[in-house]
Structure 1
Amino acid sequence: MAYSILAVDDEETILRSISRKLDKEGYQVELALSGQEALRKLRISIPDLVLLDLKMPGLDGLETLKEIKKIAPETIVIMMTSYGTIESAVEAMKQGAYDFITKSVTLDDLKIVVRRALEVSELRDRIDIFQRQEEKRYCLDNLIRESPAVKEIYSTLQTIILNDKATVLIQGETGTGKEHIAKIIHYNSSRATRPFVEVNCSAIPQELFESELFGYEKGAFTGADRLKKGQFELANGGTLFLDEIGDLDNRMQIKLLRALQEKRFKRVGGTRDIQIDVRIIAATNRDLKKAIQEGTFREDLYFRLKVIPIELVPLRKSREDIIPLAENFIVEFNREFKKNIRSMDQEVKEVLMNYPFPGNIRELENIIERAMIFCFKDKITTEHLPKDLLEGRETSWPITPESDGGKAINLRIEFGQETLGQIEKSTIHKALEKARGNKTLAAKYLGITRFALNRRLQKYHLTAPFSL
């Protein structure tokens, strides 16, 4: 789609020259001989860019600029004048002009200025779209919270987002969603429109960590041929997310602690203190209390980070969230893969509910993504799931006699008289008897999924004594 440009000048000759040049570049050009005419056209159709003469009879350029910004505040305006002064340029920029050029520039130079301005506009639009997408994705109210544990986290987050200063420490196993929670905090706080900068403390070599975090001055070391801002500066006004903070070495822990305490730092090779306004959110899957006892993590840094602690529970302890999370991933991957998969069948839900998810939410997401790739129907079935889920190799449902009212399965095995297959067949039969034919309950007794139980029933030609 061609960009639209409105050129405004009281000199018709200049307008025609501008129009011919920009038409050749593929732009759609509208012309206006006065500020009043420009505003009338603007109210009918808002252009991507306005070229506006500063000195015009009647409504002059600055007054027209003010009205344009009321009607279309996002439209780029480039001021043009034959009498350029510093004062008029400063005033135009204060009123919201993007740039200020003299009419002495060549049409080729004008073409370059227009192109660059439109590129900036396009980049700004993309950033705005990304910002809205991120705010929608990480909206606090979209947090899946069926389990009591996650409901408690939600309640904590409601308080955290009201304070954009306090440091937060998020702890939890790998894959529990620490980065997701950090982004929820950022995008629901007053810092939402400022940067969210992530630093993986375990991915950066320790000898480079200081320059990565704090930046460096030109000439600070061999190869430092220019000034480079660090992640602290890049996050200024926003949020700095320090992932895997437990892997930070002791020397850098001291420097980080000082920066957090003083809210300022020096670049590597620098002498000037740089003030920062940034919220710190740290995350780790390590037991930091144990690390303190072992001498690998500083206790003072731990307490500095742990102003507001959040402990994320593993998925096996918040099973009420498994199906809602899976359904949410289906919606997301439908959008990404341009599919229209509506649901999972009941057997898939039973498999998921009986799996321990050692990789937590990240593993569940990967399972749904794989299923979506292989599914060409409107419903995910067990044929789309990984084999290790279906074989029942892992489960978090080890039903014991104590946990199920004494329903123990007693077997009499005569070694040397029965094969392993016969023992398995007998065990399944006993489990079905104890469960009164309820396959789901029998599968729990056996520590396997219902799908795995069905496969064994077919293998041994067994039927449940009571069909449930």
Structure 2
Amino acid sequence: MTAPKILAVDDDELSLLMLENLLADAGFAPLTAVSGAQALALLEREHVDLLISDLIMEGMNGLELLDRVRERYPNVPVIVVTARGSVESAVEAMRRGAYDYLAKPFNPEVLRITLQRALDYHHVVRENEQITGLLRERFTFQSIVTVNPAMKKLLELAARVAAARQTTVAIYGESGSGKEVLARAIHFAGKGLPAGFVAVNCAAVPEHLLESELFGHVRGAFTGADRDREGKFSLARGGTLLLDEIGDMPLPLQAKLLRVLQERVFEKIGSNTPISTDCRVIVATNRNLADMVAAGRFREDLYHRINVFPLVIPPLRERTDDIPLLCEHVLDQLRQHLGKPLPGISQKAMDAMLAHGWPGNVRELRNCLERAAILTDGELIRPEHLGFGAAGAPARETSAGPAPDTVQYALALPVDQLSLHALTERIMAITLERCGGNKSRAAQLLRIDRKAFYRG
């Protein structure tokens, strides 16, 4: 394991030498600088895990160096050192972003523990930032694959409402159409954190437990309530609560939900203490709530309260222009998930997919392609791999003769970069990717010399 690099800065060369030896003895890899300017120059060319600097230095003092480092290298933790016996300047340094401070003379064990604690803390912070970044990248409006005009308009509307945290959003769409994916995109676009997204499927929770699931309960509220329990409204504080399948919520509970949305307060079961709620509420359903209102199965006042900003996701059968793009997107994911080359989809299979009704929408498409990817072995996906037949049986061939299989490429280039050479390079790159980096296999599919993949 590589020792963490610690940059020590002090204009007193004897103190710097002593600190360097202490750092080396503690198992760190020390770098040294005798001035703030030298430290900044070293940071430009060296990766540093932590900086420890004296506060009192000639020229650029420790506070000024701290400000520069925080501005240019915000991921490098800084610990300041003072020998004056006063903590005022050290407190000021921590106010400006230093992780901690140490007083001279150093206690070697305190020095080691303080540095390790700072390194561990910033490692966790960076890890969390990376995870949050990956989740934000995965659940963004840009990650929702579409070329369909209706879907693009829908995403524009969703992006607009993302900043309005107090506005209740209603997402309508068939099962598998991506209602939760859209809800998460709205959450992250509103600067929400990963843990701040809480989802409840109202159809999956038994009716007698749903109220406790949403609002929580106090100890002794009912038989079996042996301790206090937080509800989803509490857990979603500062974030987003998704009430999926809102049409399945019992009528008595709908009245309580209406009060929460209107007054932004609720009580736990067994308690009269009002608790304020501060979360965005998104509801989703595959039902026609207006028809349910007319039939007396959904409260009209709640319907108008949640229908402030409706978003309707069109079913996949109404946006078949997205199917080739979605297929390529899913195959890219399956290549990584399954660790096998997936050259693509034959034209006959693509025709079958375009003609399919997709009652399960995007979820069904993904499951269909995952099944096909498992069944294929370095070959194009054919209709029989899709399982469109009854009871999961292979789909029957409907054409009179066995037409030769073809492969489909989705190419998109900026107009100013469009050329035959650019298109050729893109086709080669896509084919190589589909073949899992196997140049021989890609060259065989394209009927070109393998050496073509090595040419600049």
Q: For 1:382 and 1:303, locate their aligned partners in 2 and report how far apart those are by CA, in whole Å.
A: 46
From the superposition, tell whether residues 191 and 70 of structure 1 become closer, same or farther in structure 2 (CA, over 3 Å). Answer: closer
Q: For 1:16 and 1:147, locate their aligned partners in 2 and report how far apart those are by CA, in whole Å.
A: 62
Q: For 1:270 and 1:80, locate their aligned partners in 2 and report how far apart those are by CA, in whole Å.
A: 52
Secondary structure of the structure 1 residue equivalent to 2:397: helix
Q: 2:7, 2:48 within 8 Å by CA — same for their partners in 1? A: yes
Corresponding residue of 1:299: 300
**Residues 256-291 of structure 1: CA deviation (Å, up to 9, x unaligned):** 333322234456787876555432211122333344
Corresponding residue of 1:66: 67
Secondary structure of the structure 2 residue equivalent to 1:240: strand
Does the alignment pair 1:15 with 2:19?
A: yes
From the superposition, tell whether residues 173 and 69 of structure 1 become closer, same or farther in structure 2 (CA, over 3 Å). Answer: same
Q: For 1:341 and 1:308, locate their aligned partners in 2 and report how far apart those are by CA, in whole Å.
A: 41
From the superposition, tell whether residues 282 and 98 of structure 1 become closer, same or farther in structure 2 (CA, over 3 Å). Answer: farther
Q: 2:184, 2:197 within 8 Å by CA — same for their partners in 1? A: no
Given the two structures, how large is their TM-score scaled by the length of structure 2? Answer: 0.72
Q: For 1:229 and 1:89, locate their aligned partners in 2 and report how far apart those are by CA, in whole Å.
A: 41
Aligned 1:238-387 pairs, distance under 5 A: 238-265=239-266, 275-293=276-294, 295-377=296-378, 379-386=380-387
Secondary structure of the structure 2 residue equivalent to 1:191: coil
Q: Which amino acid aligns with 1:22?
A: A
- The alignment's C-alpha RMSD in Å is 3.8
Q: For 1:105 and 1:56, locate their aligned partners in 2 and report how far apart those are by CA, in whole Å.
A: 18
Pairs aligned (count)? 395
**Residues 378-419 of structure 1: CA deviation (Å, up to 9, x unaligned):** 532335333xx1x3679xxxxxxxxxxxxxxxxxxxxxxxxx
Q: 1:315, 1:361 within 8 Å by CA — same for their partners in 2? A: yes
Query: 1:245 deviation in Å?
Result: 2.5
For structure 1, the 5+ residue unaligned runs are: 395-447, 459-468
From the superposition, tell whether residues 250 and 356 of structure 1 become closer, same or farther in structure 2 (CA, over 3 Å). Answer: same
Q: For 2:369 and 2:63, locate their aligned partners in 1 and report how far apart those are by CA, in whole Å.
A: 57
**Residues 278-314 of structure 1: CA deviation (Å, up to 9, x unaligned):** 3221112233334445555433222221111122233
Query: 1:206 deviation in Å?
Result: 5.7
Identity of aligned residues (%): 36
Query: 1:96 deviation in Å?
Result: 1.4
Q: For 1:50 and 1:126, locate their aligned partners in 2 and report how far apart those are by CA, in whole Å.
A: 20
Query: 1:82 deviation in Å?
Result: 5.1
Query: 1:95 deviation in Å?
Result: 0.9
**Residues 195-232 of structure 1: CA deviation (Å, up to 9, x unaligned):** 6412223345666655654567899996548xx76544
Query: 1:68 deviation in Å?
Result: 1.1
Corresponding residue of 2:124: 123
Q: For 2:258 and 2:214, locate their aligned partners in 1 and report how far apart those are by CA, in whole Å.
A: 13
Secondary structure of the structure 2 residue equivalent to 1:453: coil
Pick the structure with greater CA Rg: 1
Q: 1:196, 1:241 within 8 Å by CA — same for their partners in 2? A: no
Query: 1:325 deviation in Å?
Result: 1.6
Q: For 2:105 and 2:96, locate their aligned partners in 1 and report how far apart those are by CA, in whole Å.
A: 23
Corresponding residue of 1:39: 40
**Residues 342-361 of structure 1: CA deviation (Å, up to 9, x unaligned):** 42001111222232222221
For structure 2, the 5+ residue unaligned runs are: 403-456
Secondary structure of the structure 2 residue equivalent to 1:51: strand
Q: Which amino acid aligns with 1:15?
A: L
Q: Which amino acid aligns with 1:117?
A: A
Q: 1:201, 1:248 within 8 Å by CA — same for their partners in 2? A: no
Query: 1:17 deviation in Å?
Result: 4.8
Aligned 1:428-443 pairs, distance under 5 A: none
From the superposition, tell whether residues 21 and 233 of structure 1 become closer, same or farther in structure 2 (CA, over 3 Å). Answer: farther
Q: For 1:219 and 1:17, locate their aligned partners in 2 and report how far apart those are by CA, in whole Å.
A: 62
**Residues 109-168 of structure 1: CA deviation (Å, up to 9, x unaligned):** 443443343333233323333333334334434544445643553453354346444211
Q: For 1:21 and 1:374, locate their aligned partners in 2 and report how far apart those are by CA, in whole Å.
A: 58
Q: For 2:104 and 2:89, locate their aligned partners in 1 and report how far apart those are by CA, in whole Å.
A: 14
Farther off after superposition, 364-373 or 251-260: 251-260
